[in-house]
Amino acid sequence: MDSSLAFEIGSTLCFQIAIVIAAAAGLQRWLGDARAGCRLWTVCFLSILVIVAAAWLLPHRRLFDFPLDGRRESLLRIVTWQTRIAIALMTIWLTGLTVSLARRGWLCLQLNHFLKHRCVAIEADALLERLQLQAPPKIEILISDEIQGPFCWQLHRPLIVLPKALIDEDDTTLRHVLLHEIEHLRTQHPMQHFLQGVCSTLLWFHPAMWMAARGADLTREFLCDEAAAIGCGKFGAYLQTLAKVAERCENQSCTAVPRGTLAFGNQKSTLIRRSERLVKIAQRPQQRPSKRPAIAIGALIVVGVLVQQVWLPTNARASSRSEWSPWPSWTAEALHNSFDLQLRDFERFENSLQMHELLPETQDG
Give the pLDDT of residue 258. 61
Give the pLDDT of residue 267. 64
* Section 84-93 average pLDDT: 92
C-alpha neighbours within 13 Å on the C-beta side of residue 183: 25
Is the C-alpha dihedral spanning 269, 223, 148, 168 positive or negative? positive
Is the C-alpha dihedral spanning 234, 235, 238, 244 positive or negative? negative
* Section 68-94 average pLDDT: 83
Side by side, which strands form the sheet with 262-263? Answer: 120-122, 140-144, 158-163, 151-154, 262-263
Q: How far apart are CA 222 and CA 216, in angstroms?
A: 10
Reported as a single tens digit per residue, the pLDDT across 217-240 is 999 999 999 999 888 878 888 888
Percent of the chain scoring above 90 in pLDDT: 38
Question: Is 90 exceeded by the pLDDT of residue 64?
Answer: no
Q: How far apart are CA 35 and CA 15, in angstroms?
A: 28
Confidence of residue 165 (pLDDT cuts 50, 70, 90): confident
**pTM for this entry:** 0.84
Q: How far apart are CA 15 and CA 199, in angstroms?
A: 15
DSSP 8-state symbol, 324: B
Give the pLDDT of residue 248. 72
Reported as a single tens digit per residue, the pLDDT across 251-292 is 655 555 566 666 666 566 677 788 888 888 887 766 677 888
Give the pLDDT of residue 42. 95
Is the C-alpha dihedral spanning 333, 338, 340, 341 positive or negative? negative
Confidence of residue 356 (pLDDT cuts 50, 70, 90): low
Question: Is 70 exceeded by the pLDDT of residue 297?
Answer: yes
